[in-house]
Structures are given as structure tokens and as C-alpha cells.
A and B are shown apart, each in its own frame.
Chain A
């Protein structure tokens, strides 16, 4: 049954219950997981028994002749900042090492209701703060394409799991590129929906105005299937938007003839690895060959996006992470003697250095006397970034750019220099500031590591994004390449 692993769900689905059972599909994935996990370390928690039980239940329903829900039997992994009822949710942090939520995140609930089988919870940079998964409070995850390299982050565990065949699809969260960048580095498809498209209820907050849950998958079609299920208004999240959810799978077809693709020149400047640049431009040429019209556009505020993002994200994080205080749940320092040391010890011992750095930065940005110059100014610049994109989308339908300035970097290569690490997200961050949908699809290799093409769309126009990305995949086969680990 090993040949089941690595095939997209939309190809497997018609054969489900005929050529193989849900149990066999899930078992094939659990076997791969078991074999590769010692090398990749994508998971913080594996829920094999629950997965097998769920598979048996689905097989019983199949045997009873029931029609199965849209993602029945899809073995999925969940980033460990998504709350799962009864299964610990650590956020990659020591401070939540033993936290077991009493409820499922809305996206998780919807995924379960659609029949997906959860294999486990994946590693991440602590509280989703990082671009390499090295900031995990437990251990780093490795890139299945080359174990000396990082899988990207912060959804590095989810991306690596899908790339290694340890899950067929996964959910991640994307605050500044945390789905798209690891998808790019691991050679899978990753989509960040429009802010408000997917409920954030149950996603442990990093930066509330930027966070968004999205799928990682083997190809655009599977991505569309997962997005379909998790999208839509949720009364538990006021920022989720009450808009109809289009049929994303149906929207895949139609090609790109006449679609206007914008190349933002600022995304092809200094710091971009030449092979990545070449791969992305080649991809754009493919789209042009398929009938798309390509033109240059400008996003002059790009250079301000990174500092703007770090002010807003850290400010929100400083408040969002205040609740981890050792009072009602999570880690409590045994050295706490009074209220003050309960707070200071618990947080000093429970959080890692990057989280502390961002909490301090954010606290500073919100403090009296600095609010106007930092947080408020950042909000104003954010508006300008949004306007830049609005202006572009009057001229073009989607933007094409690299997802990451480099194909990858080695473990430890950037850990000493936070600014170098922050630059890994320079092309993805502006998209979060503007709340737009973005997708990363594999478009080649540089030095043996996958390269991602980033496409960015209008608000709530994931359909066009998926159609263009799908057309690209119909014409290329980068997304069919599987990592050597999996072959071996």
C-alpha cells in the first residue's frame, strides 16, 4: 500500500472503498510517519490510535453504503497552535507543554466533520514566531529535501510532514508568511486565505490582525478541497467574514487566458538568490505562454513592510501572550514565591528567547510616549501598503513574486542574527499587512532545494488565485517531484 503515499487526495478519492480502504490509506501514512519521523521530526504529538479508530469508523460507514463527506479518510496533520479537544496543544512552547484544550478550533472541527483523519500535531516556531522552526521549544524540524536544511517556518512541521509523506495535507497558520515560506522551502503548496475567510477561533493567537489559518497540500487541487471545508463565517470569530464561499474546486478550471499577472519590481531586487529569481521568472513565462498578460507593477512601500509588520505583530503578541502567567493553566514555575515571582519566573522559564524578544519589542511599541511614534505610525504605514496593493489590483488580477528570497538555509545558519531570520519573510509579510490571499506553489529547484512561486490575489478572490496556480501546475510537473527521503 506504499504507493498510496504521495498521491494527491483528489486522485485517490475515486478509488477509496474500491481499491483500498480508509484504514489502509491511514496505515500507509502512519507507516511512512514512523519510518521518517526520526529524521524529519515534523510532529510534536502523534495521535495514531485516534486516527486508526476514526479510519475504522469511516470504513464502517463505507461498508454500510453511506456517502462519505468531502475529505473522508484524508490523513492530515495540524500545526500545534490549533486547539484540539483532548489532545495537548503546545504552540511549540514549554509554557503550554501540558496544555490540553477543552475544545476544537473551528477549522479543526470543520476538517473533522469533513472526514479528515488527524494524524497528529506538528512542530512550529514557538507561538509561530520564526521562519525556520528552530525556535520550537522542543526540537527543530528538518527539511525532508536535505536534512541539513531548515523546513522554513513557522509551519515547518506541517510543510515537512506533507513533503515527507507523513501527512497528505496539513493546516498551518500564516501571520507573516508562516504557511507560504515553509511550503516554498519544502516544495509543497501552501495557501494563506484572505484575512477573515477562515475562522481564527481556536487558533492560539500570535498577532490577531494578521493571523490566518490555511492549508498545505501536494497540489493546488487538494489545497482547494481543504480550503473549501475550513472557509466561511463563524459566529465565534467576529473578524471572520460573512461572505458566500465559492466552489473552489470548480473554479480551478478555465485557464489563464487574458488573466493579467503583475510583476512587482520591488520583489526582484537586492537579496534575491539568482536561481530563485530565474525559477520565478521562468514560471511567469509559463503563465504567459498559457495566455496570461504579464506586466510590471510597483509596490513602493515594500521597504517599510518589514519594520511595520514587526511593530504591529509584536505589539499584538505582547498582549496576546500576557495570559501565559502560571495562574490557571500551563507551566507554573516551582520557584514562584509570590504574585510577582509567579509571573516573572513562570514567563522567564516558560518562554524562549525569540518570544521574549518580541514581547519586549511589542510592549515597548505600545508604551506611553512611544505609541504614537511606533504602533500608530505602523498602522498608518499598513494603510499605505494596503493602498499600494489596491492600486496594483486595478491594473492586474494577480501578482507573481518569489515566496522566499532564498531556496533555503541550513540549520543554525541564521539563528544568531534575528534580522537575517526576519528577512526570510520579506516577500510574504506585505501580503499579511494587506490581508490578501497568497499561495506558494513549487516552481523549480535551486541547489537541490525547492523554489516557490508566490501568487497574490484580490481580497476574497482565492478562486482566481487557485485557477492561475492550477493552470501553472497543469503545464509543469514541479509539484510531482517527491523528496529523496521518501523515495529511499
Chain B
């Protein structure tokens, strides 16, 4: 039986603010428990929230890059429920009332999977405060609460049920993270919890109305999103194929067992008793403010990719990789500005540089090597000062030490030997020492010449110009030199 998968996502994103949503406490992660708190984020009697303007600005940036309608006034609401990590027992959030809209509604984000482009609708973008964190010591009968996270600004992004596969869901999250990073709204790292995602999943026969959905929670990485959703889709398909009915419920992803399981179902539907937060005045977004924010938005990844292709003649594939993060694209363009050899710089970046980053689990922002240092390296290769082979080693040393290419080359005497007279002696010595390969070459086994070239390179510690060595060898062995 054919089923269509229907997925909608609810994403929580931690905003890149210095201070909390409604007070001046720091949002820094990792401080000792309850050291970043005040009467406001502890919900002490008499305290009042004050909106963090920077958080609203970041929310507006997100709403704009997600192509949302931004509302001239928006309202905060109270979402009432009891839990010990919620000091006021209500969360200040935004709710979708027509008369009190959230920051942004009805936007979209385009994603591409296997060359198929899909426009994913964004239902709303709204701001809220994070909760504290419960700590359950292993041995004890008590639980602790750490309120450092209480009141940290969160943005919730809710999509329409427009995604059609777990792969698309993953692609959407990647793309969302990318644009949020570009807009400097959030680091968007699922592993660090700065981006969290829940999913609503249902199946239907094509053309039919939406089927019953389940909400999948507790997915802590992009990979687990894809795995969890694939599992849940398969599970629902099996239920439907058996002639059963999907139960509307919340299901938790168990990363270790690779399954989703139903969490204890609540006896009655949760009623959050939303009402407008009387302690806050509505957020007024003037056209001037919005325009100012729009002006400071960076070029977004798709546009930048297209520009890199047009401006530097890069392939779509390379350009796509270079715009993966804003820092990578910035590094590339800065290097090209220092030495206009875009293709070579792209190759170095996507090749050896990326390999080094992956190997050492680093981000490009963490490098000591500057774009102009990479540009210098490329120039040294292009003007024949060093060989490409040597350059690979030089790059690693640059990345390890932060030293410049020229300085390493000079200090270590790596300048390529382009002096025929000097090389000829080495060539002669190699011919003398390897009579067997020489015979092979002379017998027409041209491939054996590579061995001899390698021997010369070895004796010169790689500093010889390989093309020159090749020519000299052929001359000495009486072969046609080609050029």
C-alpha cells in the first residue's frame, strides 16, 4: 500500500544574547548551579519581567530570513503549567491569537534533497523563556533545580506539515541551522542543545486528508532525527497495513535501542490557560526598526552560492560546500581578495584544509591561519617557489603553528630546486644506483620512470621540481622529452 509521509517540525533555538529574555542575568553556559540568577528569573514574589530588546531583534532577524510576515505589534502570553523547573509555574511565551500575534507568521524556507526543491511553510516564529534544569542525583531520593537556564531566550519555529520524508526533515534542519548561523541568531547546534527539535509525524494515502499524528521527542542530533523519524514512519506504516489505527500520542526516541516509545499518556488534554501577559506591554515593531534590521542582514547562503559561482567561476558543488558556513565563505573570499586564484584556493580549502579540520574536530573560526596566509601558500605554489607536494606539508605546519607559508619555506629551505645543473647530479646518481628500473624504462616500460622520479624527489627531500626531474631523466635515458 502506498503511503505519503507527512512531517511538521517544532524547533526551539537558543538565541545568541548575552543576557536572559526578561532580566539582566548572563546566558553563559556551564556556570556553577544557580549562580546566574536574580529575583526575576527565580520568579520571586514581586519581581517583574522586562523584554530583552536584543532577543526581539534576533527574533525579527529570524522572522525575516524565514520570509515571515512580521507583525507591527505582538504580545507575550502566559502558558500556565506546574513543573519544578518553571519557577513561576507559568512560562512567558507567545501564542497564536489573531488579535495578539507572535513576532512572525506564515513564512517559508526552501530546501533541496537529491535535486528536488521543496518549499517548507513556517507557521510561526515566536519568543519565549527557557526553563531551569532538574538534576536527579543517582543515589538520592531528592532532586535539585538549577535555575541558570531559567529565562534564557528561546525562539520557537513551527513549520507547516510540508515535509515528506525523514531525509527532508534532516535537510530542513541543516538549512535552518545554516540560515540562523548566517543571520547570527543562534549557533544552532543540536548536540549542545542550542537547537532542539520535536516532530509531528503522520501517514496518509496520497490525496487524502492528514492522518493521525504522533509527536516524536528527545531527538538530540541530526542523525537521531533522521533515525527516529524513519523508525516512526515504518512503525506507523506497519500499524496501518495491519489495519490498525495510529494513536495520537507523544513518543520518545530511545537512541540506544533505536525505537520510539509512547510516554505515559495524560488522562486529559493539557490546558495551558494562555492569556496575555499583563506584566508586559506589547512589542511594537516600527517599519523603521524592521528596515534597520533588514539592512544589517547578511547575504544568505543560496544567494551567496550563486554569487560565488558567477563571480569566481566555481562549480555549483564547490560553491555549495564553501557557503556551508558563513565563516568558510568569508575565509574563501578573504583569501581570494589577497590572491585572485579562486579555483586553487577553493581546492585547498575543500581538500587539505577541510581534512585537517575534520581530523582535529575544529571549526574554521578556530584556526590561527589567516585567509591571506593561505593565499600566500597558493601563490608560492603557483610561482614555482615550492612544489605542490611540499605545499601540503607546509599547510599542515601552518595550521599547527600559525606560522606563515613564506616563513616556513625559508626557514626550512624548502624552495624548489629549479637549477638544472644541481639536479643533474642527483639524476645521474639515481640512474647509476638503479640499473634495473633504468633497463625497464629503456625497454619501453615507461611507467618505471615514475619510480626514478620518486627517487630523485626523495633525495632532494621533495624540493625538486617534478616536471624538471622528468625531463632530465628522459634526456639522460635518451627518451623523447615530449615538450
- For the complex, count residues of B whose C-beta is within 8 A of A: 30
- Of B44, B87, B145, B278, the residue contacting A316 (CB under 8 A) is B278
Contact B46 A204 (CB under 8 A): yes
For B49, give its contact among A99, A209, A238, A323 (CB under 8 Å).
A238
Provided the pairs A315-B275, A325-B82, A327-B84 are in contact, do residues A236 and B48 lie with their beta carbons within 8 angstroms?
A: yes
Known: A82-B46, A238-B50. 17 other contacts (CB 8 A): A99-B45, A101-B45, A101-B46, A201-B47, A205-B46, A205-B279, A207-B278, A209-B278, A237-B48, A238-B279, A316-B278, A318-B273, A319-B90, A322-B89, A322-B90, A366-B275, A371-B273
CB–CB A200/B48 < 8 A: yes
Residues of chain B contacted by A328 (CB below 8 angstroms): 42-43, 87, 145, 147
For window 251-299 of chain A, which residues contact chain B by CB distance below 8 Å? Answer: none
Q: Which residues of A contact B50 (CB under 8 A)?
A: 235-238
A367 & B280 in contact (Cβ 8 Å cutoff): no
When the two chains form their complex, are residues B88 and A238 in contact, meaning their CB atoms are under 8 A apart?
no
- Which B residues lie within 8 Å of A201 (CB)? 46-48
A339 nearest CB neighbor, chain B only: B84
Chain B residues, CB < 8 A from A322: 80, 82, 88-90
- The residues of A that contact B147 with a CB separation of less than 8 Å are 328
**B43–A203 touching, CB < 8 Å:** no
Q: A239 near B: Cβ within 8 Å?
A: yes
0 or 1 for each of A313-347: is its CB under 8 Å from B? (1 = yes):
00110110011010111000000000100010000
A90 to B51, CA, bound (A): 28
Contact between chains at A343 and B82 (CB < 8 Å): yes
Structural contact, B43 and A323, CB atoms closer than 8 A? yes
A209–B281 Cα gap in the complex (Å)?
A: 11
Please, how many angstroms separate the alpha-carbon atoms of A237 and B78 in the complex?
Answer: 17
Give the shortest distance, in Å, between A367 (CB) and chain B (any CB).
6
Q: Does A375 contact B (CB under 8 A)?
A: yes
- The reply on B271 being an interface residue by CB < 8 A is yes
Q: Which residues in chain B, 251-282, are within 8 Å of chain A measured between CB atoms?
A: 269, 271, 273-275, 278-281
Shortest C-beta distance, A319 to chain B (Å), equals: 5
Considering only CB atoms, which chain A residue lies closest to B280 in the complex?
A: A238
User: Which residue of A204, A235, A339 is within 8 Å of B45 (Cβ)?
Assistant: A204
Total residues of chain A contacting the partner, CB 8 A: 43
Asked if A89 is at the interface of the complex by the 8 Å CB criterion, the answer is yes
- What is the minimal beta-carbon distance from B399 to any residue of chain A, in angstroms? 48
- The residues of B with any CB-CB pair to A shorter than 8 Å are 39, 42-51, 78, 80, 82, 84, 87-90, 145, 147, 269, 271, 273-275, 278-281
Residues of A within 8 A of B274 (CB): 366
Closest 5 CB pairs of A and B: A322-B89, A208-B278, A366-B273, A209-B278, A204-B45
B80 touches A366 (CB 8 A): yes
Interface check A137, CB cutoff 8 A = no
B76 (CB) vs chain A CBs: closest residue:
A238
25 contacts between A and B (CB under 8 A): A89-B46, A91-B45, A96-B45, A101-B39, A200-B48, A205-B45, A235-B50, A236-B48, A237-B48, A238-B48, A238-B280, A238-B281, A239-B48, A239-B280, A319-B78, A319-B273, A322-B82, A322-B88, A322-B90, A327-B87, A327-B145, A343-B82, A363-B273, A367-B271, A368-B273
CA gap between A304 and B89 in the complex, in Å: 31
Q: Please report the C-alpha to C-alpha distance between residue A455 and residue B22 in the assembled complex, in whole angstroms.
A: 37
Residues of A within 8 A of B87 (CB): 323, 327-328
Query: Which chain A residues lie closer than 8 Å to B279 at the CB level?
Result: 205, 208, 238-239
Does B48 lie within 8 Å of A323, measured CB to CB?
A: no
A439-454 toward B: CB 8 Å interface, digit per residue (1/0)? Answer: 0000000000000000
Which residues from chain A contact B90 at a C-beta distance below 8 Å? 319, 322
Whether A105 and B46, one on each chain, are in contact in the complex, defined by CB atoms closer than 8 angstroms, is yes
Closest to B279 in A: A208
Please indicate the chain A residues that have their CB under 8 angstroms from the CB of B269 in the complex: 368
Cross-chain contact A319 with B45 (CB below 8 angstroms): no
Residues of A within 8 A of B43 (CB): 323, 328
Distance in angstroms between the alpha carbons of A237 and B51 in the assembled complex: 10
CA of A318 to CA of B50 in the docked complex: distance in angstroms? 21
Contact across chains for B51 and A203 when beta carbons are under 8 A apart: no
Q: Which of B46, B80, B84, B278 contacts A83 (CB 8 A)?
A: B46
Interface membership of A488, Cβ < 8 A: no
Q: Flag if A368 contacts B271 (CB, 8 Å).
A: yes
Q: Is A20 an interface residue (CB 8 A)?
A: no
Interface residues of A, dominant DSSP: loop
Complex Cα–Cα for A138 and B49 (A)? 31
Does residue A102 face the partner (Cβ distance < 8 Å to B)?
yes
A377 CB, min distance to chain B CBs, angstroms: 13
> A202: CB under 8 A from chain B?
yes
Nearest B residue to A316, CB-CB:
B278
CA distance A368 to B272 in the complex (A): 8
Give complex CA distance A322, B281 in Å.
Answer: 21
Are A371 and B275 closer than 8 Å at their CB atoms? yes
Distance of A435 Cα from B48 Cα, bound (Å): 19
Minimal beta-carbon separation of A98 from chain B (angstroms): 13
Closest Cβ–Cβ distance, residue B127 to chain A (whole Å): 15
Rounded to whole angstroms, the CA-CA distance of A91 and B46 in the bound complex is 11
Q: How far is the CB of A172 from chain B (nearest CB, A)?
A: 15
Docked CA distance A415–B51 (Å): 41
What residues of B have a CB within 8 angstroms of the CB of A237 in the complex? 48, 50
Note all chain B residues with C-beta closer than 8 A to A236.
48, 50
Q: How far is the CA of A235 from the CA of B53 in the complex (A)?
A: 13
Give the distance in Å from the alpha carbon of A208 to the alpha carbon of B276 in the complex.
Answer: 11
Q: Which residue of B lies closest to A96 (CB)?
A: B45
Q: A238-B51, A325-B89 are in contact. Are A319 and B80 (CB under 8 A)?
A: yes
Return chain B residues, CB-CB under 8 Å to A105. Answer: 46
Q: Is the CB of A239 within 8 A of B281?
A: yes
A343: chain B residues within 8 A (beta carbon): 82
What chain B residues lie within 8 Å of A318 (beta carbons)? 80, 273
- Give B49's nearest chain A residue, CB to CB: A238
Verify A101–B145 contact, CB threshold 8 A: no
Chain B nearest CB from A249 CB (Å) reads 29
A453 and B379 CA atoms in complex are apart in Å by 91
Q: CA of A339 to CA of B83 in the docked complex: distance in angstroms?
A: 9
CB neighbours of A103 from chain B (8 A): 39, 44
Q: How many Å from the CB of B98 to the closest CB on chain A?
A: 12
Chain B residue at minimal CB-CB distance from A368: B271
Contacts of B281 in A (CB 8 A): 238-239
Asked if residues A89 and B275 are in contact (CB atoms below 8 Å), the reply is no
Query: How many Å from the CB of B355 to the closest CB on chain A?
Result: 51
Instruction: Please name all residues of chain B whose beta carbon is closer than 8 Å to the beta carbon of A238 when the two chains form the complex.
Output: 48-51, 279-281
> Shortest CB–CB separation between residue B477 and chain A, in angstroms?
87
Q: How far is the CB of B282 from chain A (nearest CB, A)?
A: 10
Contact with B along A90-133 (1 / 0, CB 8 A): 01000010010111010000000000000000000000000000
Contact between A202 and B89 (Cβ–Cβ < 8 Å)?
A: no
Q: Which residues of B contact A239 (CB under 8 A)?
A: 48, 278-281
CB-based contact A323/B39 at 8 Å: no
Q: Which residues of B contact A208 (CB under 8 A)?
A: 278-279
Taking the nearest CB of chain A, how far is it from the CB of B135, in angstroms?
13
Nearest to B89 among chain A residues (CB) is A322
Query: Which A residues are in CB contact (< 8 Å) with B145?
Result: 327-328
Separation of A237 and B39 alpha carbons in the complex (Å): 13
**A368 / chain B contacts, CB cutoff of 8 Å:** 269, 271, 273
Q: Give, as a whole number of angstroms, the nearest-CB distance from B166 to chain A.
A: 33
Tell me, rounded to whole Å, the shortest Cβ–Cβ distance linking B259 to chain A.
27
Q: Per a CB cutoff under 8 Å, which of B39, B48, B271, B280 touches A102?
A: B39
Query: With A and B bound together, what is the CA distance between A371 and B274 in angstroms?
Result: 9
Contact A367–B45 (Cβ < 8 Å): no
Q: Is the CB of A203 within 8 A of B46?
A: yes
**How many angstroms between the C-alpha atoms of A52 and B90 in the bound complex?**
42
A323 near B278 with CB under 8 A, answer no
Closest-CB distance, A106 to chain B (whole angstroms): 10
Q: Which residue of B lies closest to A241 (CB)?
A: B281
Among residues of B, the one whose C-beta sits closest to the C-beta of A83 is B46
Alpha-carbon gap, A251 to B461, bound state (A): 95
Q: Whole-angstrom distance from the CB of A468 to the nearest CB of chain B?
A: 31
**B46 x A202 contact (CB < 8 A):** yes
Assembled-state Cα–Cα distance A322/B43 (Å): 10
**What CA separation (Å) do A237 and B279 show in the bound complex?**
8
